[in-house]
Structure 1
């Protein structure tokens, strides 16, 4: 059975993205392989699961990426979502680090969601499961 080995977000500056995703969000660098032309195979992982799913910080050089990213941001749609234990506390922690909170934490019933700007062209959703969330194994 397949498993998710990595997913990606397109970023306008890989170094800036690496700094944001490690220094602000707390991920750790996993792979940093030069690909030529200044591009890198650059991934980060959760420090709690270093052998888990990798997030590829992929250059936004393809011509379709710019319009796609702008449309998502204009409509307030996150590029991806990450789970957190406490969305409100995480929003405050990130605010203290200078991260722009696009949408304050909102209780949506099964999750509490906060939307942040990753400074690299994306909105990112942080979500906390609530006690109203269904058991994922059922």
Structure 2
């Protein structure tokens, strides 16, 4: 029986730049960083306190996915507070934090222009 998601892939153009962003700005931890092909490494990251990880890897033929909206939502306790912390670390936003009827949301951008939702439930602001 399926029990969860091990990792979600994020297509990136430069693994070193992406690794720096996701570890230094977003606070993720390296689980694996090893050669995978002649030109790429397999980089798997863990989100502290979460069971699902991220893989900074672009399969051959999927380069067009780089810089697009990714169907990934990161959750946090408070979108407004987390956004302020991330902005102080130089993280860009495609959408500023805002309150919605179901909770709060913002759209984060990585160095490749990939966009991700950042959300929290309705208990904030």
- Report if TM-score (shorter chain) is over 0.5: yes
**Residue 124 of structure 1: CA displacement?**
1.6
- Matched residue pairs, number? 123
TM-score by length of 1: 0.79
**Residue 100 of structure 1: CA displacement?**
1.2
**Residue 46 of structure 1: CA displacement?**
1.4
Q: Give the match for residue 45 of structure 2.
A: 44
Q: 1:60 to 1:17 in 2, by over 3 A?
A: farther
Partners of 2:66 and 2:112 within 8 A in 1? no
Partners of 2:12 and 2:66 within 8 A in 1? no
Q: For 2:17 and 2:81, locate their aligned partners in 1 and report how far apart those are by CA, in whole Å.
A: 24
Deviations for 1:55-88, whole angstroms, at most 9, x for unmatched residues?
Answer: 11113642x432x445x4xxxx444210011100
* TM alignment of 1:102-113, pairs within 5 A: 102-113=94-105
Q: Give the match for residue 112 of structure 2.
A: 120
Any gaps of 5 or more consecutive residues in structure 2? Answer: none
Q: Give the match for residue 11 of structure 2.
A: 10
Q: For 1:58 and 1:121, locate their aligned partners in 2 and report how far apart those are by CA, in whole Å.
A: 15
TM-score by length of 2: 0.86
Q: For 2:59 and 2:118, locate their aligned partners in 1 and report how far apart those are by CA, in whole Å.
A: 22
Q: Give the match for residue 134 of structure 1.
A: none
**Residue 122 of structure 1: CA displacement?**
0.2
SS in structure 2 opposite 1:95? helix
Q: For 2:17 and 2:66, locate their aligned partners in 1 and report how far apart those are by CA, in whole Å.
A: 17
